[in-house]
Amino acid sequence: MKPNTITWTTCDQAEAPPRRSFLKTAALGLSMAGALMLGSGQAQAATTWKIQSVWDAGTVGYDLFEEWCQSIEEKSGGELIFKPFPAKAVAADNNALFDAVRNGVLQGMNPFTLYWSGKIPASVFLSSYPAGPDQPHQWDTMFYSMGMLEKTREIYEKFGLFYVGPIQHDANIIHSKQPVNSLADLKGMKIRVPGGMVAEVFQQFGVSTVSLPGSDIFPALEKGTIDAADYVGPAVNWELGFSQVTDYILFGPPGVMSIYQPVDLMDLTVNLRAWNALDPKLQQLVEDEVRNYSQKHYLTIQKRNIEAMEKFKESGDTVSRLSQEDLQEFRRAAIPIWYKWANKDEDARAIFDMQLEYMMNDTVGYIDESDLEGVEGK
């Protein structure tokens, strides 16, 4: 192999170029190489998103969320990093969380979708509601096969947000200090339930409803200021110590844990500007990963629920179930309230109409035209 050589071009005087010219040329070459390397580094620089969950640190929900966020850097080849935060770490409450994502203080959030019913009325129909679709696959069908995801994104964009997708969570159940074997047994009880549509339906059955944050439920049950409380599913409720202050657990008919909030969806929602700034291939990765995480999140919690129910039984708790007749009665009471919320604005009505068509399809068959006769707002 020939040694590397430099061929000099002579000037008129047939002299070698001066040393200063050589150094200048070499410096220019190094500068260009450095610029190319810097440009390459900038192209590969990671985008970091700060994302706050509504799960408290130390819960199974947050552990799963944190683990998922940490996986994104590797799955994106180092181009995207999700930095997770537990509840209240950046934004102190739900209103602050919503605003923090809109304003770009946070790039994303992992909330319960129902939290925004006061800001986005349509959101009451983006998670399960009393006697509505009660199986997780029904919600995935509506979102991913019937156009509900696209409509939801259209609604959220009005608020400077991008709704990436739903995240399956669990059903909400009721823990009671006294036995409940039918809807009639609820009359006169004071029960902590979510506000809005859920509270309005329970009130139809003589229930005095109370709205309390999750951290206040245990002491209220312990002191007897409430007779029963709704919260999330068995796994988390066991960790919160509900078995220590109640003796009964109320489920819906077989196959339905809850008749009032059977599919309590979470989601990943991000700042619209941050989303639009993301490379399309990373956008697709995030969408795909939300769907994967939804399944893992749901299945892990279901496994924990089974384990928790064994612990509840060992502690002496009794499970009771409402009947199919109770479910039908609950649905009859709920239908007028569905329409009340659907008519709050055109977006809520658009989402509800999609679901109504689905519920009335023979493949589901929850309701028919006779159920809607005389309903105000129809």
| Span 234-257, pLDDT tens digits | 998 998 899 999 999 999 999 999
How far is it, in rounded angstroms, from Cα 125 to Cα 105?
Answer: 28
How far is it, in rounded angstroms, from Cα 263 to Cα 135?
Answer: 7
Mean of the per-residue pLDDT values of the chain: 89
Q: Is the pLDDT of residue 183 over 90?
A: yes
Is the separation of the CB atoms in 269 and 141 below 8 Å? no
DSSP label at residue 318:
E
Helix axes 346-360, 148-157, angle to 10 degrees: 170
How far is it, in rounded angstroms, from Cα 368 to Cα 331?
Answer: 12
Is the separation of the CB atoms in 125 and 358 below 8 Å? no
Model confidence at 21, pLDDT cuts 50, 70, 90, reads very low
Is the separation of the CB atoms in 307 and 238 below 8 Å? no
Please report the pLDDT score of residue 298 as a whole number. 97
Element (H, E) at 90: none
Q: Largest alpha-carbon pair distance within the chain?
A: 112
Percent of the chain at pLDDT above 70?
88
Is the separation of the CB atoms in 246 and 174 below 8 Å? no
Q: What is the pLDDT of residues 1-12, one digit of tens each?
A: 434 433 333 333
Percent of the chain at pLDDT above 90?
81
List the structure tokens of 370: 């006779």
For the segment 338-356, the average pLDDT, to the nearest whole number, is 97
For residue 184, which amino acid is it?
A
Q: What is the pLDDT of residues 89-124, one digit of tens each?
A: 999 999 999 999 999 999 999 999 999 988 999 999
Q: Is 88 left (phi over 0), alpha (psi -120 to 50) or beta?
A: left
Is the separation of the CB atoms in 309 and 243 below 8 Å? no
Closest C-alpha among 331, 324, 333 to residue 367? 331
Model confidence at 319, pLDDT cuts 50, 70, 90, reads very high
